[in-house]
Amino acid sequence: MKSILASAGAAAILFTTSLAAAQDVNFLSTQLRPVEEAQKVRQVLLKGVPGKVSYLVEEPPQFDVRMKAEGKAGKRTISLAGALHGELQPLVTSGDIEPIDDLAAKLADRGIPQGLMELGKLGTGKQVYIPWMQATYIMVARKEALASLPAGANVNALSYDQLEAWGKALTEKTGKRLIGFPAGPKGLMPRFYQGYLYPSFTGGVVTPFRSADAEAMWGKFKSLWQYVNPNSTSYDFMQEPLMAGEVWVAFDHVARLKDALVQEPDKYVTFPAPAGPKGRGYMPVIAGLAIPKGAPDRAGAAAVIEHLTKPDVQVKTAAEVGFFPVVKAELPADLSPGIKLIAEGVAKTQGARDALPALLPIGLGDKGGEFNKVFSDSFQRIVLRGENPRAVLDAQAAVLKGLMETTKAPCWAPDKASEAACPVN
Amino acid sequence: MKRTQSRALPYLLLAPSLVFLTAIFLLPLVQTIALSFSESGVASLGNYRRMVSDLNFGLALRNTFLLVLVVVPIQLALALGMSVMIEKIGRGRDLVLWVWTIPLGVSDLAAGLVWLAILQDRGYLNSALYGLGLIEGPTAWLTYETPGTLFLGVVLAEIWRATAIVLVILVAGLQLIPKEYREAAEVFGARPWTIFRRITLPLLKPSIQTALILRTVLAFEVFAVVYAIGGTNFPVLVGEAYTWQNANQNTGVAAAYAMLIVVISLAATAIYLRVLRVPAEQQP
């Protein structure tokens, strides 16, 4: 027994020394995970960083477990974490992220908009992450779908009524339901409710959750759902059903549409999500860079952050992997056609006259998953199971209220600012 | 001196596995129990309340039981038939057994993906049906709108994937039955069906018990196959535990689901042990 323990100990020591000997800055990321993208990070985006960087990737749940476990064990191997706003939030609650106000001051000349820097404080008053890159959700249509657009509709300024009419026309023409949403187990559908549907119809997310506007909205969405491909509840990434022709009009995160757009740029058009009575809701997505508490190489990590936020590296990031700059930087004219389509979609979304930005949830700590569940459950019950919208909204509003009160999260845009926990009216 | 040593020997030999089990099974189990009964550090039944009141709870419970009740009997019947057939094969027996047990070597997620490739809109099944002129284009079998065919798909995949484990246990059990019984029965003019019912089946009971316990417990834990084929369209208990842990990030409710699965599995095992009890004098 003793000898087993001894040899295990010896192995552990060997393992750690071999890690330490390399003296790399371990950079763990939940973004840019596919092999080709990770290789771009290693070979293009991290080129020119002083010192050696190991770029490692992990799926979000495993990332969360690893960051927390290393903190609890008191043995940090990761010096730099790259993840989405919502993924970094629970780590701030658990005390695994170190404030980096000094670095934020140093990067003041990068021209990162104040709003984005504010998001990087996660409501704590201290800078906990530096914005790294941004993206959003857009809509994509196969060009053959454009012929069925309802009369007078401009694809770049659609309303939800027009999207429904379009879906109806497509179904009448082909006999198939050709609109698609990423409502699968790993799809990003909750962001559609929180950043698109609710803001467009109610002008908020949390406060008007069970309002009359919300009730009418779910009715509309249910009626639109008649023309949505029933496989949507299995779709995680819309690029695959688009390429297969199973779906002609789709909504998703740009990173999850990229393969289709890059592989066959001539087949698609990109455009903003539809507008409702309160405007054209959209959700900017922010990935940030954070330094874990007790990071083995804080200086090395800071150097990587400085490098990745340089305007020329930010432009390269857009060109290589399709995430857009958080700093002031001109995109080059010679972007590849697929990336150009994404850039156009994003620009049309942000620049729409009725654009209504809806921020990612702030201050929910580790309750982000349950917050999403409130919206997914409402969808399940109202749209898929045909339950009475009023009863469902009242029941789910109670859950939502409980979440807001436990976390004491104040409202975020587009809800009206609040001092205490965001109210559910 | 020597005597005490030999008395301690069995315990010493058992010690490593005991340590191993304690470290990777018993401790996590105790931790899971503790987790399921606490909410942010305070003892509470809140996790169980949330589990029971969740919109998928009843559905997941129903689906899991339905799967077990449909899949396990079919697998037992199939495996019995197959094992008796294997007994009769002379040459090539090993080859047949080997082919039949191939699904054992496939991971359950991979098995699920194989069946997804067959059953999805543009899968092999639809291609074949289209080729035969039976359908006009891609037809969806696995959506929330087609719960019947979705269930059938999961049942098919589970039967394909996990009948082999029952088969292997039964084949081993058949080999333990002495030939003399059968020969004696044949001398008295018993027909094959009578021999199977009166001799093979009773003597096979211990193996059937083992196979049923193993298969039923695993069937209650079904996850990867369902996840691959049906995603969240077909909620099952383990899938809900996974969703609460990963997507909803609520370890407490996930632990409550895990405890529910443990209790159901233990109950099923206890029932089998009691119903299929074999008195010592009847054991071969």
- Each residue's pLDDT tens digit, A198-239: 999 999 999 999 999 999 999 999 999 999 999 999 999 999
User: From the CA of B54, how many Å to the nearest CA of chain A?
Assistant: 9
* Comma-separated ranges of CATH 3.40.190.10 domains in chain A: 2-134+286-332, 137-283+357-407
Q: Is residue B75 part of a domain?
A: yes
Identify the domain containing residue B75 by its residue range: 37-282
pLDDT at A119: 84
- Nearest CB to B121; choose among A231, A369, A372: A231
**Chain A residue nearest residue B232, CA to CA:** A185
Contact between A234 and B233 using a beta-carbon 8 Å cutoff: yes
pLDDT at A5: 43
A97-98 and A179-180 beta bridge pairing: unpaired
Residues of A contacting chain B (CB within 8 angstroms): 1, 61, 64, 90, 175-176, 184-185, 230-231, 233-234, 244, 246, 366-370, 372-373, 377, 380-381, 384
Phi/psi at A206 (5° precision): -90, -55
A25-29 and A280-282 beta bridge pairing: unpaired
Contact between A176 and B137 using a beta-carbon 8 Å cutoff: yes
Contact between A185 and B19 using a beta-carbon 8 Å cutoff: no
Interface contact B44, partner A, CB < 8 A = no
Whole-prediction pTM: 0.83
pLDDT at A93: 83
Cross-strand bridge partners of residue A138 = A252
Region label for A95, one of left (φ > 0), alpha (ψ between -120 and 50) or beta (otherwise) = left
What is the domain-level CATH number for residue B126? 1.10.3720.10
User: From the CA of A292, how many Å to the nearest CA of chain B?
Assistant: 20
Look at the block and give the residue holding tokens 């010493």: B12
Instruction: In whole angstroms, give the CA distance from residue A278 to residue A414.
Output: 11
Hey, which CATH number is domain A137-283+357-407, 3.40.50.720, 1.25.40.10, 2.40.50.1070, 3.40.190.10? Answer: 3.40.190.10
What residue spans of A154-197 are helical by DSSP H? 160-174, 189-192
Q: Is residue B30 part of a domain?
A: no
Q: Cβ distance B212 to B72 under 8 Å?
A: yes
- Nearest alpha carbon to residue A355 among A280, A297, A423: A280
Mutate to test the interface with B, among A229, A248, A373, A381 (most CBs of B within 10 A): A373
Q: Cβ distance A285 to A68 under 8 Å?
A: no
| pLDDT tens profile B178-236 | 888 888 998 998 888 898 888 889 899 989 999 999 999 999 999 999 999 988 899 99
Contact between A61 and B246 using a beta-carbon 8 Å cutoff: yes
B-chain residues near A175 (CB < 8 A) = 137
Helix (H, G, I), strand (E, B) or coil at A253: strand
Instruction: In whole angstroms, give the CA distance from residue B248 to residue B241.
Output: 10
Contact between A369 and B250 using a beta-carbon 8 Å cutoff: yes
Helix (H, G, I), strand (E, B) or coil at A18: helix
- Nearest alpha carbon to residue B116 among B220, B221, B225: B225
User: From the CA of B265, how many Å to the nearest CA of chain A?
Assistant: 26
CATH 3.40.50.720 fits A2-134+286-332, yes or no: no
Enumerate residue ranges in chain B where pLDDT < 50. Answer: none
Which structure tokens are listed for A325? Answer: 């700059």
Rounded to the nearest 5 degrees, what angle is found at the Cα of A361, between the Cα atoms of A35 and A71? 60
Q: Cβ distance A406 to A367 under 8 Å?
A: yes
- Nearest CB to B143; choose among A233, A368, A381: A233
Instruction: In whole angstroms, give the CA distance from residue A206 to residue A191.
Output: 13
- Nearest CB to A381; choose among B55, B232, B233: B55
Q: Is residue B267 part of a domain?
A: yes
**DSSP line for A66-134:** HHHHHHHHT----SEEEEEHHHHHHHHHTT-EE--HHHHHHTGGG---HHHHHHTTTTSSS---EEEEE
Instruction: In whole angstroms, give the CA distance from residue A137 to residue A272.
Output: 8
Enumerate residue ranges in chain A where pLDDT < 70. Answer: 1-22
B-chain residues near A185 (CB < 8 A) = 227, 231-232, 243, 247
Q: What number is the ipTM of this complex?
A: 0.83
Q: Cβ distance A256 to A241 under 8 Å?
A: no
Helix (H, G, I), strand (E, B) or coil at B54: coil
- Nearest CB to B249; choose among A90, A185, A234: A90
Q: What distance lies between CA A19 and its chain's CA centroid?
A: 32
